[in-house]
Amino acid sequence: MAGSGKVHMRNTGNTVLSVEDLVVEFALSKKIAVQAVSGISFDLIQGETLSIVGESGCGKSTLGKAILSLLPVTSGSVMFAGSDMTKIDKEAVRNLRPQMQMIFQDPISSLDPRYTVRQLVSEPLEIWSRGSAEEQSVKVDELLNSVGIDPAIAGDRKAYEFSGGQCQRISIARSLALEPKLLICDEPVSALDVSIQAQILNLLQDMKERYGLTMVFISHDLSVVKAVSTRILVMYLGKVCEIATPDSLYDSPKHHYTYALVSSVPIPDPSKKVSRVILEGEPPSPVDPPSGCRFRTRCPAATELCATEEPQLRDMGGGNYVACHHPRD
Amino acid sequence: MSSLLSLSNLRITFDTPRGQLAAVRGVDLEILAGESLGVVGESGSGKTVLSRASMGLLTMSTAHRSGTVVFDGQDLSTASREAVRDTWGTGMAMIFQDPMTALNPVRRIGSQLAEGLRVRLGMSKKEAKKRSIELLQLVRIPDPEKALRKFPNQLSGGMRQRVMIAIALACNPKLLFADEPTTALDVTVQAQILQLLSDLRKELHMSMVLVTHDLGVVAGHTDKIAVMYAGEVVEYAETKELFTNVRMPYTEALLNSIPRLDQKSSGRMAVIEGRLPDPTQQEPGCAFASRCPYVQEKCQVEHPELQKADNGHEFRCHFPLGVAR
């Protein structure tokens, strides 16, 4: 696994977000620092959905937060709307924030329990003084209707009165209030039942079309991102393993880690006995990552080369880029 | 095989400010020795209440039970608190959903593991420690002696769930309830834990009840499946039979809502519109009628009884799938 390299970057005119060599470090003590994200690059074209997939601790949420400048970036650049978010001052970052919004994993704890639904959705409009009070109220009704919540019935109730799926709908309405260009969804459905999951995924697709959104979708579950993604980026211990379109990723995963992720998804059909690769153990500590390819300690195909040299991303054709010395056929 | 746990006409209601909430509405289920049963349903379908009631864990004064629970020949519905308690650990044990909140954060793993061994099996400290190490080896925790001295927050989610499993297995239970054991975990760790539970069940000749909202999780790991909806069992069959010959429209809808990697994606996902009926109300018809794509007039007025096909496949539907309508 590896990581570095930028062959997958496209230089088209309508790039919304371009991340290059992004590194995010956290200091554990004065001497030791852990790199949660170590040298990630990708770009995102208007209207695309990029899914970032990996296990807990691979740095995917840190990456999402770093894109929004919610965390200090150690090095690298995040180009959004013509500015490098890592170089401009705080006030300039704040002025860009309405254009980039985030939906969080736990829909219940990410909404203030003392606010009514109407207050939750109108708060961004008030902060940014968008329109008169009357216009704001019309906008809130429109947003709530569009996410399938009846403002007349639910508008004056508080968030804790709703189920997880409904809270996630309210979060979506709130994040769309300022009509952002970029929406980052951090595990938006992992706290929900499968039946509700499908509803929220469909809703996100509808909202994407309706508001012309570009999305980053963070998840640990490859099956969830299948329907929504234009491209999928697989992360392991802060590095990129593979970046590909969904069809080529699911049909022929090139990276051994991607293959393991694909085969861990349970298939609701007992007659299908797929050859399953169950990964042993857990990711090593990012404080002291393995040399060379970071996945080599759990990889069935690891050789000496993997310990000494970090694989670079290379073009496998068909829109598939992989960072592996011994990719799968 | 002999019957290990048998529930008949089990009904659980709770007192709430909005009136009586019927969480479980007349469930009959039987679990044989050595068998694994999957209990599947959405949040609020009553699956967790069902497993807790089976173990006698619903002790709050607002919970009311009718019907019987017979475990290993003993009627727990009439037994004393002490007699019910005596079945815990050695008879029945439970793994809870969230391993972080189920473990005590201020006690070391070793003391939490030893508790059951000391209290229930009367082991000495030394014996309990030895057995604890064996248990951690059983659940494939590397370096068990070191793990005994750790606190829960020093372990990952997957490791904590392994500790929970070790605690549940400590006194060799005959029946293990696993209530959404992998919902809080990554897919890779989920695959490990499900495989571990399956292996352990065979090694230790246990019965298991696997409670989950995901039909994908139970597909490869159970002998039989009971699908619950609004407090009732709406379909019950052997796992293979259920997946090849779905009779209940609700089960079909649940299956369709799972994102599949083994099928081409069509862009939009199938959803079950609407939601579970209000559990404080008792509607006359089928509880799934308002969300069912095949609903007919009869479904609104008459509550369907559980029908049983020749091969033991049970379903609660006036117009089951697979029959010309």
B323 in a structural domain = no
Interchain CB contact of A305 with B (< 8 Å): no
Residues B209 and B143 in one domain: no
Are residues B111 and B21 part of one domain?
Answer: no
Instruction: For residue B57, tell me if it sits in a domain.
Output: yes
SS3 at position B194: helix
String of DSSP letters for A37-50: EEEEEEEEETT-EE
Cross-strand partners of B315: B235, B307
Residue B17 φ then ψ, to 5° = -60, -25
Whether B6 contacts chain A with CB within 8 A:
no
C-alpha torsion sign, points B146, B150, B153, B159: positive
Judge whether A150 is closer than 8 Å to chain B, CB to CB. no
Q: Which two tokens stand for residue A229?
A: 């993604």
Indicate the average pLDDT of chain A. Answer: 90
CB-neighbour burial class of residue B159 (10 A; exposed 0-12, middle 13-18, buried 19+): buried
Strand partners, A225: none
Check A227 against B259: CB less than 8 A apart. yes
Is residue A12 scored above 80 in pLDDT? no
Taking CA–CA distances from B256, the nearest residue in chain A reads: A195
Q: What is the pLDDT of residues A273-292, one digit of tens each?
A: 655 777 877 788 888 899 99
Smallest CA–CA separation between A99 and chain B, in Å? Answer: 26
pLDDT at A185 over 60: yes
**Residue B252: what pLDDT?**
93
Positive/negative CA dihedral, A70, A67, A238, B181:
positive
Picking from A55, A193, A299 by the largest number of B CB atoms within 10 A of its own CB, the best residue to mutate is A193
Q: What is the pLDDT of residue A1?
A: 41
Q: Among B218, B255, B252, B258, which Cα is nearest to B238's?
A: B218
Domain span including residue B306? 3-91+174-315
In this structure, are B82 and B118 located in the same domain?
no
pLDDT of res. A226: 87
Answer yes or no: is pLDDT of A2 > 60.
Answer: no
Contact indicator for A48, A231 with CB cutoff of 8 Å: yes
pLDDT digits (tens, 9 = 90+) for A150-171: 999 889 999 888 888 889 999 9
Answer yes or no: do B186 and A55 touch at CB < 8 A.
yes
Q: Please indicate, yes or no, whether residues B149 and B210 belong to a single structural domain of this protein.
A: no
Residue B25 in tokens: 């509405």
Whether residues B273 and B146 share a domain: the answer is no
Compute the average pLDDT of residues B261-271.
73
Indicate the Cα dihedral angle A91, A94, A99, A104, nearest 10°. 160
d(CA A30, CA A319): 42
Which CATH number do you get for residue B299? 3.40.50.300
pLDDT per position as a tens digit, B218-259 = 988 999 999 999 999 999 999 999 999 999 999 999 998 888
Range of the domain at A24: 15-81+181-322
Establish if B216 touches chain A: CB-CB under 8 angstroms: yes
* Alpha-helical segments (H) within chain A: 60-67, 90-96, 117-127, 133-146, 151-154, 164-176, 194-211, 222-225, 246-251, 256-264, 304-308
Pairwise CA distance, residues A259 & B188, whole Å: 11
Residues B242, B152, single domain; the answer is no
Could you tell me how many residues make up chain B?
325
Interface probe with A: pick from B101, B225, B239, B269, most Cβ of A within 10 Å:
B269
Both tokens assigned to B73: 């020949």
Closest to A248 in 3D by CA, of A311, A310, A320: A320
On chain B, the residues whose CB falls within 8 A of the CB of A196 are 42-43
**Which residue of A194, A201, A270 is in closest CB contact with B240?**
A270
Q: Which two tokens stand for residue A70?
A: 């919610």
Q: Which 34-93 residues of chain A touch chain B by CB within 8 A?
A: 55-57
The ipTM, to two decimals, is 0.79
Q: Which residues of B touch A269 (CB under 8 A)?
A: 219, 243, 262
Query: Does the CB of A205 have a partner CB in chain B at under 8 Å?
Result: yes
Asked if residues B252 and A256 have their Cβ atoms less than 8 Å apart, the reply is no
**Residue where a domain terminates, one of B139, B170, B201:** B170
Structure letter (DSSP) for residue B58: -
Q: Do B293 and B179 lie in a common domain?
A: yes
Spacing of C-alpha A79 from chain mean position: 17
Label residue A192 by pLDDT band (50, 70, 90).
confident
* Residues of chain B found within 8 Å of residue A282, distances taken between Cβ atoms: 156, 158-159, 189
* A106 at B interface, C-beta within 8 A: no
Domain assignment of residue B117, yes or no: yes
Structure confidence at residue B324 (pLDDT): 52
Strand A83-84 relative to strand A100-103: parallel, antiparallel, unpaired? unpaired
Residue A195 lies in a domain: yes
Q: Are residues B109 and B242 in the same domain?
A: no
Q: Is the pLDDT of residue B66 over 60?
A: yes
| Proportion of chain A above pLDDT 70, given as a percent | 97
Q: Is the pLDDT of residue B170 over 50?
A: yes
Nearest CA in chain B to A247: B264
Contact B271 A55 (CB under 8 A): no
B116-163 confidence digits (pLDDT tens): 999 999 999 999 999 999 999 999 898 999 999 999 999 888 889 999
For A231, left (φ over 0), alpha (ψ -120 to 50), or beta?
beta
Q: What's the pLDDT score for residue B184?
A: 77
**What phi, psi does B259 have (nearest 5°)?**
-65, 130
Rounded CA-CA distance B195/B187 in Å is: 12
Tell me the per-residue pLDDT of B178-189, one tens digit each, with 9 for 90 and over.
Answer: 999 988 788 888
Q: What does chain A come to in residues?
A: 329
Helix (H, G, I), strand (E, B) or coil at A25: strand
Cβ-Cβ pairs closer than 8 A, A with B, add up to 128
Instruction: Show which of B112, B145, B170 is a domain's final residue.
Output: B170
Residue B266: the pLDDT is: 62
| B113 and B143 assigned to the same domain | yes
* CB B39 within 8 Å of CB B50: yes
> How many domains does the structure of chain A reveal?
1
CB distance B271–A268 less than 8 Å? Answer: no
> The domain that contains A200 carries what CATH number?
3.40.50.300
Strand order, beta sheet including B3-16: B19-32, B3-16, B63-71, B74-75
**Which of A194, A230, A295 best probes binding to B when mutated, by most B CB atoms within 10 angstroms?**
A194
- Average pLDDT of the segment spanning B39-49: 91
Query: What is the Cα–Cα distance from B84 to A208, expressed in whole angstroms?
Result: 54
On chain A, the residues whose CB falls within 8 A of the CB of B195 are 278
Report how many domains make up chain B: 2
Residue A9's pLDDT band, with cuts at 50, 70 and 90, is confident
Nearest CA in chain A to B268: A202
Nearest Cα neighbor of A66 from A26, A108, A32, A123 is A26
